[in-house]
């Protein structure tokens, strides 16, 4: 691409035209100042670097997570919050232990090491490993139909890819992740020795993606791990001939619940401080993950919303509250406790906005409320937001941590990024700082600040 | 991000609802098939790998460009085109020669090597280099005001960054690139020894970005090079005290024009074959660049449009023509020749669509025509396209290569990606395959095929 014949206007989107009403002109001027503050000299990328490089692997129960809690508190102090709170939460404490391994041996004696990563809540194998035959299935239904007789003592291998025909990330993920979240428990109920799950990604590589799996009360946890995509393909090939086995070693353990904290900081509203606009992310990450996109990005964007609103000269009418949740990845205990306290104190929330789909540039927002019309009402702001690349509001939820607030009738939201790249990195060791592009991160924070401003000014 | 409380529909966007008219339902069904073909088992990423790994550095006049021409012809043959043509074009032939270098020496004798890359059309320095004092300016106007007396014999250093307040790439680039395209010529007119230009990027690194500079007839070419951003900052620091010099070595030369080719392949329309829908990209790239995003992506997307339309079972009413232009980067001779022939033959074009802003997922399209209403008329298709993440049509141009067709009254278009990442890689050695995400590339091709289908079916 080069210059010639590029006819784009070089003018910046600005505020005031003669036809605009005075409030619209004021809104446009504030939005311009918000974007200026976010795009020029933002500290956010440096904050993200600190978070992911000093406190990587922020899994619940880890020292790194509590280190991140103190880091976040210090950042809120620098922002001059009116109130800062560490909200205590008891969180699950699962540890991977020594590096896991899996080796497949075909009927003909050919062996291959598989890229493998234990899932959260996985049980351990015996220390020397567990050797068993493998049964491949594409769905939980298929596993059920096989029945105990053909599953007991085997390693169940869930190998249904995400459906490439989906346009958005979320339905592709939701449409496959039952294999990871509920597959190992079903395998356990049928007497399986262990479970292996193809990673939730479209990437054509061999990076295993961990994530949580759940064993309901009464179902014995079994060893369970994710496989990289090419390892899944290798395994599928080598078990074509009956008699192949996998030797799996997992050293995980589940400890007693640990103390963690939601980190809360707020600027008190000037007119109706009892009404809250929440902007959040989650501090925890998987143990192997630096957690740059998931969800270091959301955390620094939440902090940045406070900073840019102030830099833009906006004095909030309502209380603007940053909440950096703990334990999103394997328990949602932080969100549960936060919602419990909101209910107990009857704290009205005008909006609860969470960025938890990566530090990419959003092109719209999801908005959800009980009436199902929050996104339709927000469309009145599109003329103000389109010059900034925000083109739609759609019905949907915000992040997982704000979803529980919907039961009080509050409106939740999240930026709609839908970057296909997100699932290349999600829950992996390669979710590193270099995968986050500074301006994409900044455009996300600016859009969030713009929405917070508009709700503060005009209501949701 | 994890599963719980994610309320997104897992259903794919599909075609038919009872309220839809029959044509709308048919359109929706074809679009679904187009996206299925593009997202499942596309050969496109493999094609891009071949193009950028076997034929990198496809600058006009190079063997690599003509290798890419033959590669593209072979790909069109595989697609079973009704007609393939190599349209001969004489193109400029500029060569970088041996690696350039620049070393700054401050008044106190401190030296630093600068990351430097000669600009297209740069003259050479004497073989042993050129040493001169440096005068820093932020604009062409500032240089004009300095005048010959303070410029003659010096190295002019253009150091105005792209304006970070812009939301979109194009105006940020256009707002700064005059320093590169016209700055060296102005410096030459004022007697300067050479010119250095801060790279056109927001990236916080030291990768120099080349690009074309122009010396009008009668203006003697001088040595001219881009500096990496940190090198530009280093240089700005070290010349604070008068007396600093830069030693610049550039070994470039301009040879006689060379023979190149636009590569054209088409599927003849079943109903009105004399009317053409063009989908294109440009085959050439800068000599140092693999040219994955710029514009290998656009080339393989253009090929893919033909493939997926066929895979979707669409029999075009009008002729669908792929044009892979030569010499976009430093002359636009391919586009000029193509437009000349279109004028000569009076070939009617319903649409000329070029992807030349990277292989990212688009969220809308630019559409341009003489009346300025093409984008407004296209909005009737938004309900069909929104399920696929296409949210807007806006007034604008397509790529540089299709812009000349506007003078015949034809409609031009380009996908609007606006990915901030694009200018991290543009015109650099790091515009490599790994920067292109396969699904983003596929979503772009699918959106282009969808637009081509809609125009073929309903007119622009």
* DSSP line for B348-387: EEEEEEE--S-SSPPSEEEEE-TTS-HHHHHGGGHHHHGG
Q: B246 near B117, Cβ under 8 Å?
A: no
B434 touches chain A (CB under 8 A): no
**Residue B397 binned pLDDT confidence (cut-offs 50, 70, 90):** confident
- Please classify residue B39 by burial: count the beta carbons closer than 10 Å to its beta carbon, then call 0-12 exposed, 13-18 middle and 19+ buried: buried
Distance from CA of B134 to the nearest CA of A (A): 27
Mean pLDDT for all residues in chain B = 95
Suggest the residue from B1, B203, B229 to mutate for an interface test with chain A (most A CBs closer than 10 A). Answer: B1
Q: Which of B7, B8, B214, B423 to mutate to test the interface with A (most CBs of A within 10 A)?
A: B8
Instruction: Say if CB B273 and CB B266 are below 8 A apart.
Output: no
Q: How far is A224 from chain B (nearest CA, A)?
A: 17
Nearest to A224, CA basis, from A234, A212, A235, A236? A212
A303 to chain B, closest Cα gap in Å? 19
Number of H-type helices and E-type strands within chain A: 14, 16
Band of pLDDT at residue B3, cut at 50, 70 and 90? very low
Between CA B437 and CA B441, with CA B440 as vertex, the angle to 5 degrees is: 85
Of B165, B392, B419, the CB nearest to A39: B165
Q: What is the ipTM of this complex?
A: 0.94
d(CA B135, CA B192): 10
Domain B97-251 in the same topology as domain B22-94+256-458: no
Residues of B belonging to the active site: 328
Do residues B193 and B225 touch, judged by C-beta distance below 8 A?
no
Environment class of residue B243 by beta-carbon count within 10 Å: exposed (0-12), middle (13-18) or buried (19+)? exposed
Q: In A, which residues are within 8 Å of B173 by CB distance? A: 1, 3, 6
| Phi and psi torsions of B116, nearest 5° | -135, 150
Asked if residue B295 has a cis previous peptide bond (ω within 30° of 0), the answer is yes
- Residues of chain A found within 8 Å of residue B212, distances taken between Cβ atoms: 2
Note whether B356 contacts A1, CB cutoff 8 Å. Answer: yes
For residue B230, what is the enclosing H or E element? helix B229-238
- Asked if B295 lies within 8 A of A1 by C-beta distance, the reply is yes
Q: Say which residues have a Cβ less than 8 Å from residue A179's Cβ, sequence separation at least 6.
A: A139, A140, A158, A160, A197, A198
Alpha helices in A111-165 (DSSP H): 140-151
Percent of chain B residues past pLDDT 70, beyond the cut: 95
Question: What pLDDT does B14 receive?
Answer: 55
Where does the pLDDT of residue B9 fall: very low under 50, low under 70, confident under 90, or very high at 90 and above? very low
Going by pLDDT thresholds of 50, 70 and 90, the confidence category of residue B13 is low
A435 in helix, strand or coil? helix
Q: What is the pLDDT of residue B17?
A: 46
Beta bridge partners, A90, equal A259
Class of domain A97-251: alpha beta
Confidence of residue B21 (pLDDT cuts 50, 70, 90): low
Residue B55: HSE in the Cβ half-sphere, 13 Å Cα cutoff: 23
- CA A201 vs CA A197, A209, A233, A370: distances in Å: 12, 8, 14, 32
**Which ranges of chain A have pLDDT less than 70?**
1-22
Domain chopping of chain A, boundaries = 22-94+256-458, 97-251
Provide the sign of the torsion angle of the four alpha carbons A165, A168, A171, A173, taken in this order: positive
Per DSSP, B403 falls in state G
Q: What's the pLDDT score for residue A8?
A: 41
Q: Tokens at residue B235, please?
A: 């240089």
Residue of A nearest to B182 (CA): A3
CA distance B252 to B96: 4
Question: Which residues 260-319 on chain A approach chain B with CB closer than 8 angstroms?
Answer: 294-295
* Cross-strand bridge partners of residue A86: A263
pLDDT beyond 70 at B2: no
Q: Assess if CATH 3.40.190.10 describes domain B22-94+256-458.
A: no
Q: Is pLDDT of B128 > 50?
A: yes
- Does residue B204 carry a pLDDT above 70? yes
Q: Tokens in use for A412? A: 């939740």
Q: Identify the DSSP state of A112.
A: E
Q: What is the pLDDT of residues B72-81, one digit of tens each?
A: 999 999 999 9
Q: How confident is the model at residue B274 (pLDDT cuts 50, 70, 90)?
A: very high
Beta strands in B283-347 (DSSP E): 318-325
Closest partner residue to B396 among A7, A177, A404, by Cβ? A7
pLDDT recorded at residue B335: 98
In chain B, residues with a C-beta closer than 8 Å to the C-beta of A162 are none
Place of tokens 């043509």: B85
* CB-CB neighbors (< 8 A) of A356 in chain B: 1
Q: Does the pTM exceed 0.90?
A: yes
């Amino acid at each position: 691409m080069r210059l010639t014949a590029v006819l784009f206007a070089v003018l910046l989107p600005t505020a005031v035209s003669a036809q605009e009403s005075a409030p619209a002109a004021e809104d446009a001027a504030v939005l311009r100042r918000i974007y200026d503050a976010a795009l020029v000299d933002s500290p956010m990328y440096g904050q993200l670097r600190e978070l992911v490089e000093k406190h990587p692997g922020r899994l619940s129960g880890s020292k790194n997570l509590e280190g991140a809690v103190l880091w976040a508190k210090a950042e809120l102090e620098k922002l001059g919050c009116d109130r800062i709170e560490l909200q205590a939460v008891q969180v699950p404490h699962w540890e991977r232990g020594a590096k896991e391994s899996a080796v497949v041996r075909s009927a003909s004696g050919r062996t291959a090491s598989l890229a493998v990563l234990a899932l959260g809540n996985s049980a351990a194998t015996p220390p020397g490993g567990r050797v068993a035959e493998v049964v491949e299935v594409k769905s939980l239904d298929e596993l059920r139909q096989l029945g105990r007789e053909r599953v007991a003592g085997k390693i169940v291998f869930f190998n249904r890819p995400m459906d490439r025909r989906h346009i958005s990330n979320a339905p592709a993920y939701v449409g496959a992740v039952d294999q990871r979240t509920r597959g190992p428990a079903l395998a356990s109920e049928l007497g399986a020795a262990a479970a292996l799950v193809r990673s939730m990604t479209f990437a054509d590589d061999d990076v295993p993606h961990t994530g949580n799996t759940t064993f309901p009360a009464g179902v014995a946890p079994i060893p369970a791990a994710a496989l990289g995509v090419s390892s899944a393909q290798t395994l599928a090939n080598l078990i074509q001939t009956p008699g192949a086995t996998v030797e799996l070693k997992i050293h995980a353990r589940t400890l007693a619940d640990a103390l963690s904290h939601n980190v809360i900081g707020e600027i008190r509203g000037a007119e109706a401080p009892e009404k809250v606009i929440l902007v959040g992310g989650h501090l925890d990450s998987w143990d192997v993950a630096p957690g740059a996109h998931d969800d270091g990005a959301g955390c620094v964007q939440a902090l940045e919303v406070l900073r840019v609103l102030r830099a833009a000269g906006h004095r909030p009418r309502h209380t603007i509250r940053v909440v950096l949740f703990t334990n999103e990845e394997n328990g949602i205990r932080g969100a549960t406790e936060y919602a419990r306290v909101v209910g107990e104190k009857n704290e009205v929330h005008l909006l609860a906005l969470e960025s938890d789909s990566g530090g990419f540039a959003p092109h719209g927002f999801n908005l959800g409320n009980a009436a199902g019309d929050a996104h339709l009402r927000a469309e009145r702001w599109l003329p103000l937001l389109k010059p900034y690349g925000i083109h739609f509001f759609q019905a949907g939820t915000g992040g997982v941590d704000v979803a529980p607030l919907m039961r009080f009738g509050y409106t939740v939201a999240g930026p709609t990024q839908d970057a296909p790249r997100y699932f290349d990195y999600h829950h992996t060791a390669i979710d590193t700082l270099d995968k986050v592009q500074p301006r994409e991160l900044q455009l996300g924070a600016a859009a969030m600040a713009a929405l917070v401003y508009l709700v503060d000014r005009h209501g949701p």
